[in-house]
Structure 1
């Protein structure tokens, strides 16, 4: 048993070394050398190398462009539970890029990647749930995935999660994210925060955000300001 473990460790170290050398070759635009090294590791089962090989085939770098082989190696990496490959393959099927568009397969691969906390997969899977694309529409599931992605720092998820919470009338959750959006410079969050705080009857906060929205020319904010008589607060 000890011998088998040592062999496994040596193999892993070799693969890592090959990948490092391959990456250096790629950075130097020595694509032929990069291809040789990645191909060697890919055939030995390294999913990172398989994903890299897919990229090289897709772009004709160091090898003649071959979309079929690109998809083949990407599938190998995805089947090997490589999260990035699962995401890439999911997006390929979602957009129908060089394959027949298949939202069911897209959902399958993005789900696998999402389960491994790939925030890009979580974001795009959330959109699929929101639009009912390849899966039954489920806004609750959408916002759960958006929050996970947003909590990991995914910018687009951060920008949208508060807005979806608003649709679900979950104002406390929405306020946290919309306040962050506003702090980060998203001026479109000003009116939403004003509306949200009116719903929560926190009119002093509503006045603050309505005024910010008015200052940038938001006509809806002017109507809201008058409707709730925010000048009193």
Structure 2
């Protein structure tokens, strides 16, 4: 394929969209150029790294938490802060109702290898919330955010209620507070990890990645590399770009004792590069020279099977 090397970085969806809009009517070259242009229209969010793995760009909520920590003058632990606090809110604390449903990737028959810590707030086993409970949780969450933004500690009660009702944004928010010891909560990584797990099990892609990192690195509890890779894979398959890059790193370098698999690494780098991740593009260039044409073709075919919209 004369254009195979150049279309490695191009999301097939972008190519199809360019053609449908009549932007590539004259040649394959124009289709590639148009798709590349469409993919570079938005800026890539900054990434935080540790052990070579990305943890996601800061949300507005994370920026507020950082500002609050600075005001308090304390030393804040931020090992996983940005990735745990993932809900982007407006200044008035509006709620993204699209988070109400469980739309993540589920793997039937995969038992969880970890028993959560005996945290009092998690004593009640989560059950599927009714529509009325979900609406109530969203309302409680909105109230909590408004109060907490105003440094009103009573917002914690509403936040915990929303989290207990299974509302993933509330679970991620409270996990972030425990990770950084903010808004009157102590710094407690086991509790942060437990809440992140609940949000991950509800199908939130960013929580899946964060929980996978907790497991992979052993923060807030026991280390379990295999379980961590499984959750990173779930997040990647759900479109989480940083998790796609992370899997590329893990399979390229063998971090955590994972078996090196350059074809698998190339696949995940390729997927992340199509979403505009510059580090992933560099990795694709690096691995292209050491992989055979056949291996690159296999990786490209496998990458084309991942159709989830990118989550950054």
TM-score (norm 1): 0.62
Change (3 A) 1:155 1:20: farther
Change (3 A) 1:159 1:14: farther
2:155 and 2:282 mapped to 1: Cα distance?
38
1:75 aligns with 197
- How much has 1:120 moved relative to structure 2? 0.8
1:106 aligns with 228
- How much has 1:31 moved relative to structure 2? 6.6
Quick check: 131-140 or 143-152, which moved more? 131-140
Change (3 A) 1:60 1:31: farther
Larger Rg: 1 or 2? 1
2:153 and 2:240 mapped to 1: Cα distance?
30
1:157 aligns with 280
1:135 aligns with 258
- How much has 1:47 moved relative to structure 2? 1.7
What secondary structure, in the 3-state scheme, does the structure 2 residue paired with 1:13 have? Answer: helix
2:210 aligned with 1:91: no
2:138 aligns with 16
RCO comparison, higher one (Cα < 8 Å, 6+): 2
2:281 and 2:141 mapped to 1: Cα distance?
34
1:135 and 1:126 mapped to 2: Cα distance?
11
- How much has 1:158 moved relative to structure 2? 2.1
Bigger fraction of residues in helix: 1
- How much has 1:8 moved relative to structure 2? 4.5
1:119 aligns with 241
1:128 and 1:111 mapped to 2: Cα distance?
11
Change (3 A) 1:31 1:71: farther
1:158 and 1:26 mapped to 2: Cα distance?
40
TM-score (norm 2): 0.47
- How much has 1:27 moved relative to structure 2? 4.4
2:176 aligned with 1:43: no
